[in-house]
A and B are shown apart, each in its own frame.
Chain A
Amino acid sequence: MRVLSDVDLIVGKGEFLTILGPSGCGKSTLLRAVADLLPTMDGNLSVFGRTPSEARSSREVAFVFQEATLLPWRTVRQNVTLPLQVGRKSISRPVEPKPDHWLDLVGLSHLADRYPHQLSGGQRQRVAIARALQCEPDVLLMDEPFGALDEITRDRLNDELLTIWRRTGATILFVTHSIIEAIYLGGRVLVLAANPGRVQAMIDLAPLKDENGFCRRESTNVQETAAHLRRLLQEGSLTA
């Protein structure tokens, strides 16, 4: 089955690209292709000049799933250091175990010795982000990581993620269902259309952001862009 076709796209180093699209447009498929999680694919996809498989096996890519996917028998700290205990052959450059540093960055250093079941959904997702950061990836792939969280938690995590992005300089590909989240986080937003999955539009969000890269969700130009994106999504989900 062909999920995506004619997706031609270049993402710059250090860019924050958000990906929006109706259900079934292949947003996740695109992300999973980059993460080498798809069995077959034709066409060209390169991550800093390498195949997805090469990029994965040299630890250039980290993935944050919609579910936190923490191992319940490990403490928060042990979950964060998991990337250093498996696939050691794939770690191409020295990565120091700094679980407390990464947990501090997501504001959870005080919970390092807890177990996942003792955390809230938002805290679990933060641990998953800390675990991804422990890989010190060049590319951070995020598949609706905040999709299951309430709006207040999601807004706060959006701010934290922007801060982390600026500090680490990682390239982030972020799939979301939320139009506002896509605008708030992204430097550009990629809009996909369904049946078949293809690029509907690519919109530059830089004009909306202040010099620090932030924007107010309630401002008029953000709302106008949101309305525009909503129309694009509606068109994209009708075609068949």
Chain B
Amino acid sequence: MMRSRLSMTETAVLPMIGALSLVAAWQWLVPALGIPAYIVPTPAAVLRTFATEWRFLLLNALPTWAEAALGFLLGNVLGVLMAVAFAYNPRLRAAYFPVVLLFNTIPVLALAPIIILIFGLGMLPKVIIAALLCFFPTLVNTAQGLNLATANELELMHVLSASGWETFWRLRAPRAAPLLFSSLRISATTCVIGAIVGEWIGSNQGLGAVIIQSTFNYQAERLFAAVVLASLSGIAFFALVAQVERMFHRLQPGG
């Protein structure tokens, strides 16, 4: 079946029209349905909150960004290291990979209180929750990616007397790179989620804390503004990782 293709302008403009139409509908429907502003504010009111409370919002976004970024680094570095260990030690992999996967099925919301209990109320438990959310997809993807080299490719490296390090760097790592980057893109948004979930449970600062407090105080405009900011943070993290990936592909020195 042939589908008519969209022109370049249409692909660029249509998503914006879609988003704007929904915002416009929201702006019009909230008063039209008689929903009170302390339950659901209009987009214009949320925008006004950004203008008046930007200092407060930014002050609370900073710890969330820091926790998310640190969690991203910690989780992904550990994920890659464990994947490398698994790739080079099949026994280790056989013993611990299933346990690790089982551990991954615990919902982060259920795990968060335990981590707060162990690590207290500072930044550390939030970093750890964010790291956990990054750790698993990266471990699974990288472990899979490092095993993608075919038997022929490994034999080629053997005939060329490549060292273990060279085989890793010239063959296994480039093979794993696309999968690693796809998990890094996932991590870029989940690390923000992890930080916010951590802040819900035990914090008086950060976007998560703002979300919880403004919910209990019926500060709907502030709540919505915090949620929008959290979402924008995730998008910004994602764009940053995507940019790094593009730079990597440009610089990749022949694998």
Q: Tell me if B160 is interfacial: C-beta within 8 Å of chain A.
A: yes
Give chain A interface residues in 157-215, CB to chain B under 8 Å. Answer: none
- Interface of chain A: mostly helix, strand, loop or mixed: loop
Q: Using CB atoms, name the residue of chain B closest to A69.
A: B152
Instruction: Decide yes or no whether A82 CB sits under 8 A from chain B.
Output: yes
Mark interface residues in B133-170 (1 if CB within 8 Å of A CB, else 0). Answer: 00000000000000000101101111111110011001
- Cα(A63)–Cα(B158), bound, Å: 10
Chain A contacts for B160, CB-based, 8 A: 59, 82-83, 86-87, 90, 135
Judge whether A56 and B255 touch: CB under 8 Å.
no
Contact between A87 and B161, CB atoms less than 8 A apart: yes
Closest to B174 in A: A73
Is residue A85 contacting chain B, with contact meaning CB distance below 8 A? yes
Decide yes or no whether B254 CB sits under 8 A from chain A: yes
Alpha-carbon gap, A165 to B47, bound state (A): 76
Which A residues lie within 8 Å of B171 (CB)?
A: 71
A56–B158 Cα distance when bound, in Å, is 9
Is B252 on the interface with A (CB-CB < 8 A)?
A: yes
Judge whether A87 and B254 touch: CB under 8 Å.
no
Complex alpha-carbon distance, A74 and B177, angstroms: 14
A67 at the interface (CB under 8 A from B): yes
Whether A69 contacts B150 in the complex (CB less than 8 A), given A86-B167, A86-B170, comes out as yes
Beta-carbon contacts of B9-43 to A below 8 Å, as 1s and 0s? 00000000000000000000000000000000000
Check if B152 sits within 8 Å of A65, measured CB to CB. yes
CB distance from A127 to the nearest CB of B (A): 13
Is B159 a contact of A71 with CB atoms below 8 Å? no
CB neighbours (8 Å) of A87 from chain B are 160-163, 166
Q: Look across to chain B and name the residue whose beta carbon is closest to the beta carbon of A77.
A: B254
Contact check, B255 vs A73: say whether CB atoms are below 8 A apart: yes
Given contacts A69-B152, A85-B170, A87-B166, contact A37 B254 (CB under 8 A): no
Minimum distance in angstroms from B54 CB to a CB of chain A: 45
In this assembly, does A62 line the interface, its C-beta being within 8 Å of a C-beta of chain B? yes
Q: Smallest CB–CB gap between B16 and chain A, Å? A: 35
Instruction: Type the 1/0 row for A2-42, where 1 means its CB is closer than 8 Å to any CB of B.
Output: 00000000000000000000000000000000011100000
Cβ-neighbour of A86 out of B150, B152, B162, B254 (below 8 A): B162
**Which 3 A-B residue pairings sit nearest by Cβ, starting from the closest?**
A87-B161, A86-B162, A90-B161
- Interface residues of A, Cβ cutoff 8 Å to B: 35-37, 56-57, 59, 61-63, 65, 67, 69, 71, 73-75, 78, 82-83, 85-87, 89-90, 135
Known: A71-B255, A85-B170. 11 other contacts (CB 8 A): A35-B159, A56-B159, A56-B161, A59-B161, A62-B159, A63-B156, A69-B152, A69-B153, A69-B156, A71-B171, A86-B163
